[in-house]
Structures are given as structure tokens and as C-alpha cells.
Structure 1
Amino acid sequence: MVAQALTLKKIRQHIRDIRQKNLSSLIIIEWSFIQKSILLLAIMVVLFTSYALYVAFVMLHPTLHHFINVNSTILLWKDVVILMIAFAAMIFGYTWRTSARVNRYFPIFCIIFFATAMCISGYCLGVLSPATGVFVIGTPLIGLVLFPRKIVLIMAVLTMLTMVLLTIASNLNVIPYAPLFTHQDLVGMQGFASFYLYSQLYFTLPPLLFILFIMDVILRQWSQRERDAAMQSKLDSLTHLLSRYSIDQHLERLVTLSSDQKEISTLLIAIDRIEYIQKTYGRTFCNELKKKIAKLLQLSLRNQDLAGSFDDDHFIVILSAAHREVGLAVAERIRVRIENLIIADGFGLEIQITASIGVSTCLPFGMVGADSILIQAEQALAQAQQNGTNLVMHYDQVPIAALKESDVVFTS
């Protein structure tokens, strides 16, 4: 028999792991815009702290003064002011995170503030510097994932236009290029090339590492979310049994890939008088009943067998390597357990529950398609319900007159 690709136990454990995740591990792209904005501000705090430390370090070392425009303390105060605004904005955003108006406008402010601050820093370092290039190219990519597309695209275009205008103005000598390093005959100074190189590395690496880290986290979490969604789609949301789609896939795999001679049995289970039960006791009662039966099915099967939700009112069981007698025995065991199931209504009164089960058995290589075995199980179930409730019926017990045309070769 072909190895089973679906292991119900592993799927359920995976679902439990998903539900037990701590809030701190929530997927970033599912955060609120306030949370994303605070994350953006936190990144700004780290970046501009490093910028301020750089300027302070150079100013405290006289041997480096001739490489940098130390006469302009505005370079240091610029970073300090940006840090103060970022801190204040983080506190404001966290304090008013439940406000609808703040949730609407605060992210826009943060995006504009971030773009403006980085434009100023990019101009100070040089519009064509590697650090500025990393900012211009990398941050819009993250922004498009985290924030509304429209505002990010608008700010990205405005930022690029600003950089182009600054480049033109610098080329026309209207404004100095890279004022952080502005000094007469600076380029010809001994040691400037090394200082400039290390400075650019210092300013380039932090934003580059942040961009790579955030993108890696987002992509990994995005991929994990897709895997989680795919895993959860294999299960029925109410009963946590395999979904109809998963059962169909498994049956199709048995038919197309099986190369052995072992029979498989399919059990189609219907709760008797389900419409009456739902009308009398309500949908909530029916849902609890289905959950109990689903748990009962899981406890009644071997590890290699599968139980699933066929539709709203039917369950299905696929028994691997199970001939006719095994299929009937398992069906009878399930029928008896459902009959003995204790379930009470809202007033504490016990309700008698029974089920009818249709069984079909076949060799996988003898089947034309996966739908064939389902048709036979449906015919057996219909005959069981016609003969009376609380019965087990095998397909080969169905009168010939009641049979529909089938392309399946069954054993009996």
C-alpha cells in the first residue's frame, strides 16, 4: 500500500502549535499599523543613535577634525532632534494605540517623518553615497509590505525626486555635496580616502542589516503563514477531522499510486434523524454531537486509517489494507459506540443517538477513479437507511435493482 502522505496526528499537533504561539511571535505583516509604525520608529532610534555617536566620536578626536565639518554642530543636533521626535512619537503611538483617528493618521506621519529624516541624512552623507542608495532602494520594499501601498509609493516617488533635485543643485554648486565631509581641498588630504571609506561602511551597514533582517523575518513568517494555512485547510474547522478535499486527495493517491494487492474499505457514516435532531435541539447541540462522534472515530481507528468529514451530515473513514470482513467489523464497532454514546440536551436529558453506515471494499488497481468507491459507499448507506436506522450495510448486500452503474471491480 502506498505510504500515506497525511498523518492526522501530526496535523493536529501542528494546529495546536500554531494556537499556542506567544503574542510576541505574531506575524509582522499582520500587526496593526500602529505596531508597524512603532517598529519603524524603533529602527529610526537605533539608526540615528549610531549617526549621533559617529559625529560625537569624530568631534572628540581632534586628529579627525580635518576630515569632517566639525564647525557645524547642527550635524549632531540634527540627529538628537530626530531621536527626540522618534521617542516622543513612539510614546504617543503606544498611548493612543486604541484611537481610530490615531490608527488612521499616525502611520502616515511616521512614513513622512522617516522619509524626511533619511533624506536629510542622505544629503549630509552624499546623495550618491552607498548608504543613501541602500535607503532609497531598500526602505520602499519594506514599506510596501508593511504599510498601505498608496502612501508608500507617493513618498518613494517624492523621495527620489528630492534626491534628484539635490544632486542637480550640488552639481550646479548651489549647495555643497555631502556637507558632513565639506572642507577645502578635502579630497587631496592624506588619509581621507580611508576615512571616507570607513565612514561610508559605518553608515551603510546598519540600514543594510536592518533591511535584510526585516525582509528575512517577513519572508520567513509569510512562508510560515502559508504553510499554516495549507495545514489548517486539510482539516474540517468543526470536527478537526480531515476535510473532504483531503480525503479525496488521499483516495486519488491510493488509486493512482498503489501497486500492492491489498484491499481498502470505505465507510460512509450518517447520523440518523439528523434533521429532526437539529430542528429539535438546535445547531449548537448538533455541532457538539458531531465533535463527540469525530473524537469517537479517532479512537476507533488504527494509525494508518483516516477519518474525515464528508459533508455537513456525513463522516467518512478510509481503512487501509482492510478486506470486506474487516470493514464490516470496524463499521459495526463504530455503530455500537455511537449507539452507546452519552450526550445530553440543554436540560440534562440524555438523547439516544444512532448512525447508519455504508461500507464498500475494493482493490485500488481495480478502480477506474476515486469517485467510484464513494458512489458505492453512498449506495450502501442509502440502502441501510432504507432498511431502517442504526444499521451497517455493505455494497455487495445492496439489491441489484437498487444499484446504479459502476465502473468499480469489487471483491466480495
Structure 2
Amino acid sequence: MKLLEKIKEYLNGSALLNWDSLSKSNFVMILGALTYIIWIIWYLFVFSVPELKYWMDESLFTSHIIVSVIIIFLFLLWAFIGIKWKDNIWIQTYFPYFCIMFFGVTLIYGGFNVGIISPATIGSYISLISVGIVLFERKIIYSTAIPVTIFLLGSIVLSAMGKIPYAPLFSNELNSSTLSENPFWIYSMLFLYVPIFFISIVLFEILLTQWRNREKQIQIMSQLDPLTGIFNRRFISQSLGKIHQKNGDYSLVVLDLDFFKNINDSYGHDVGDRVLRDVAQVLSLSLRGNDLVGRFGGEEFVLLLSDKQQIHAMEIAERCREKIEQLNVEYAENQAIKITASFGVATWKPGLTREVVLRQADQALYLAKKNGRNQVRSYLEITA
């Protein structure tokens, strides 16, 4: 269970997505080494079974093993260099290009040995290019993909013309037969391609999951006021528009902190920011259900009360006013600031636009300030 939780936590995070190009290159080098290790295991297993060994070119056994071991060593060496000197500017800038090019060359080499147009080669090429475009910057991938693709196409043409051998690791008996009817060839293609396919799918899933989570986080952040953590004016306006379209009953409460400019001037903006955060928290804790609280800017807040009648809105506003009045914001040891706020309440009625309702709440707020502040006033008082 703990392992599954860690895997889920990793998928929901953004570790791989937030890596820099050098870290991603080091990761690719390790994956390249693992892929070649799997291929060597396949190669040694085939030569250990006489019935399978028949389909291989025995003269290339030693040389191919040596070259493959050297490639694995180089993969690990490049990963070590990238990790060891990760703070070097040259390594950070140019090493990813070199690593990805090396990975592409070794891929072509492996594909050439088992057939340049074999399913394992073409499938690996498509999978890795697709993952690379998502994982790396375009300029890094294209700088490798273009020359590798040209070399791949050239090898296909030369192989078709008989200028270079096709699948030199396999024996002449296998290459001269109908490959699609040979079980050994089919299972070999599957074994050689499945690890790359599996790695590509896993990477795609990780990247897509992290990308979706990042999009959700960006969307949430775009809705919140960065200082107070409550909804911003844009989100409140959008929510007000949705409620208004449904012709649902709602009330608006606009409140303004009394003499807030004096707080900033006397105690500094840090204390003023603390006051705004504390007031936002008080307002958030005072609401229930589908009600929303947002900061309209400066020291002005708004409460969007869905399905509330005038009398209910007045009660909620009065409760918020009392809690703000009881709030003490400490700015020094044993010294605190007393805060008050003025409230204006307006309730939607059929035929009113949302702009009109908001203007009515502002007029009620002005009435509260005009009559001495630290009170709740309704637009109905103005019309009366």
C-alpha cells in the first residue's frame, strides 16, 4: 500500500515535468543503459539455446557483445558526467544535445543489427521521438531527430539496394526466409521492442498526469487572490454571471475595512497585509455551503450569497461584522490593532442586471460609511 501511495504521489506531482534538460538527459542515459542490458540478455539467451542459435550469425557474437558493453559503459559515463558537473554552464547548455544525439545513434545501431525496417526498429523510433518531443525542448529533439531520420532513411535505401547487409546479427537462413512466418523472428521483435514500448507508455502516462495536474493548479491559482488566498475579483464576477444566468436568488454583500489607509501609513504594509489575510480568514470561516467570498481589490471584499433572502444576507453580514470587530491583529509584543468594517447589502430581484445589484450594494456600503462606519446597511433603506 505504501508503495502504491508513493507511486500515486509521484504521478500527481511534477518531478519529471519540472526537471531541467540536463536532468532529463541523465535520466535518458540510464534508460538507454537499461535497454541495452535487456538486449544483451536476449542475445546471450538466444546463443544458449541450440535451436535458437541456428538463426544467428555466430561470427559476430564476440564483437557485438563487446560493442554493446562499451555502449552501456558510455551511457553510464555520460550520466555520471551530467550528474557530477551539473553546475557547469557548458554541461548545462550543450551536454543534453550530445546525450540525445548519442542515444539516437545507438538506437540506429541497434536497429541496423536486427533490421533497419523491422517492427522493433520503426516502433522504437516512433515511440522515442514521440516521448522526446513531450519531454524535451523542441530544439533539442529536432537537432537530433532530423539527422537521425536522414541516416535512418539512407540506411533503409542502402539496405534495399543491397549496399549494406540487412539484419547482420541474423543468419542468412533467417534473412532469406519469410520473416513474418518465422516464430523466432516474431518473438525476437516483440522482446526487443516491448521494453521500449513499456517505457514510452509509462513516461507518457507520467507526463500527461503531471501536465493535467499542473493545468488544474494553474486554473486554481488564476481564481485566487495571491495575498489572501480567497477568490479574486475575476472569479467572483464569473460566478456572479453564472448565478445570474440561472435566474437564481442571490444577495451581494460588499464590505470595506474602515480607515485601512491609516493602518498602512502608521504600521507599514506588512501589517496591512496581515490584516487583510486575517479578515479574509474570518470571512471564509463565517460562510457555509455555496456562499463565496472574494477580494475585489485593496481593502474591499465581497460576499456572494446564493439562494439568500434579504433578511438572511443581513444576518450573515452582521455576523461577519461582529467577528471582524472582535479581531485583534498583533503588530508588536502585547500590542494589537482593532479593526472594523462597513457593509452594504443588496438582493437580486427579477429584471435587475448583475451590474445593478452590485451598484446597489456599493450604494448601501456608502450609506454605512456616511452614517459612521462599522455597521451593516441595506439598499432597501435607500429606496425606503
Query: TM-score normalized by structure 2?
Result: 0.90
Looking at structure 2, the residues matched to 360 and 206 of structure 1 have their Cα atoms a distance apart, in angstroms, of: 65
Q: CA deviation at 1:347?
A: 5.6
Which structure has more helix as a fraction of its residues? 2
Q: CA deviation at 1:290?
A: 0.8
Query: TM-score normalized by structure 1?
Result: 0.84
Q: Is the 1:360–1:380 contact (alpha carbons within 8 Å) kept by the matching residues of 2?
A: yes
* Structure 1 segment 105-184 matched on structure 2, within 5 A: 105-183=94-172
Q: Give 2:238's aligned residue.
A: 249
Q: CA deviation at 1:288?
A: 0.8
Looking at structure 1, the residues matched to 27 and 192 of structure 2 have their Cα atoms a distance apart, in angstroms, of: 20
Q: Which aligned runs of 4 or more in structure 1 are off by greater than 4 angstroms?
A: 21-24, 188-192
1:105 maps to a residue whose letter is: Y
Q: Structure 2 residue aligned with 1:323, among 295, 309, 313?
A: 309
Q: Give 1:355's aligned residue.
A: 341
Aligned CA distance change for structure 1 residues 165 and 352 (closer, same or farther; 3 Å): same
1:389 maps to a residue whose letter is: R
Q: CA deviation at 1:264?
A: 2.7
Looking at structure 1, the residues matched to 285 and 193 of structure 2 have their Cα atoms a distance apart, in angstroms, of: 60
Q: CA deviation at 1:380?
A: 1.3
Q: Give 2:65's aligned residue.
A: 76
Looking at structure 2, the residues matched to 191 and 349 of structure 1 have their Cα atoms a distance apart, in angstroms, of: 85
Q: Give 1:3's aligned residue.
A: none
After superposition, the C-alpha distances for 1:220-251 in whole angstroms (9 at most, x for unaligned) are: 22122112221232222221212222212222
SS of residue in 2 equivalent to 1:106: helix
Q: Give 2:299's aligned residue.
A: 313
Aligned CA distance change for structure 1 residues 99 and 60 (closer, same or farther; 3 Å): same
After superposition, the C-alpha distances for 1:172-216 in whole angstroms (9 at most, x for unaligned) are: 332211111143675249998221111111112221222222112
Q: Is the 2:131–2:200 contact (alpha carbons within 8 Å) kept by the matching residues of 1?
A: yes
Looking at structure 1, the residues matched to 165 and 232 of structure 2 have their Cα atoms a distance apart, in angstroms, of: 67
Q: Structure 1 residue aligned with 2:186, among 172, 175, 197?
A: 197
SS of residue in 2 equivalent to 1:327: helix
Looking at structure 1, the residues matched to 151 and 290 of structure 2 have their Cα atoms a distance apart, in angstroms, of: 65
Q: Is the 1:252–1:369 contact (alpha carbons within 8 Å) kept by the matching residues of 2?
A: no
Looking at structure 1, the residues matched to 368 and 38 of structure 2 have their Cα atoms a distance apart, in angstroms, of: 77
Looking at structure 1, the residues matched to 234 and 180 of structure 2 have their Cα atoms a distance apart, in angstroms, of: 69
SS of residue in 1 equivalent to 2:91: helix
Q: Give 1:95's aligned residue.
A: 84
Structure 2: state its 5+ residue gaps: 1-8
Q: Is the 2:180–2:186 contact (alpha carbons within 8 Å) kept by the matching residues of 1?
A: no
Aligned residue pairs total 375
Aligned CA distance change for structure 1 residues 389 and 82 (closer, same or farther; 3 Å): same
Looking at structure 2, the residues matched to 301 and 190 of structure 1 have their Cα atoms a distance apart, in angstroms, of: 72
Aligned CA distance change for structure 1 residues 303 and 133 (closer, same or farther; 3 Å): same
SS of residue in 2 equivalent to 1:156: helix
Aligned CA distance change for structure 1 residues 190 and 369 (closer, same or farther; 3 Å): closer
SS of residue in 2 equivalent to 1:390: coil
Q: Is the 1:235–1:243 contact (alpha carbons within 8 Å) kept by the matching residues of 2?
A: yes
Q: CA deviation at 1:315?
A: 0.8
Q: Is the 2:330–2:337 contact (alpha carbons within 8 Å) kept by the matching residues of 1?
A: yes
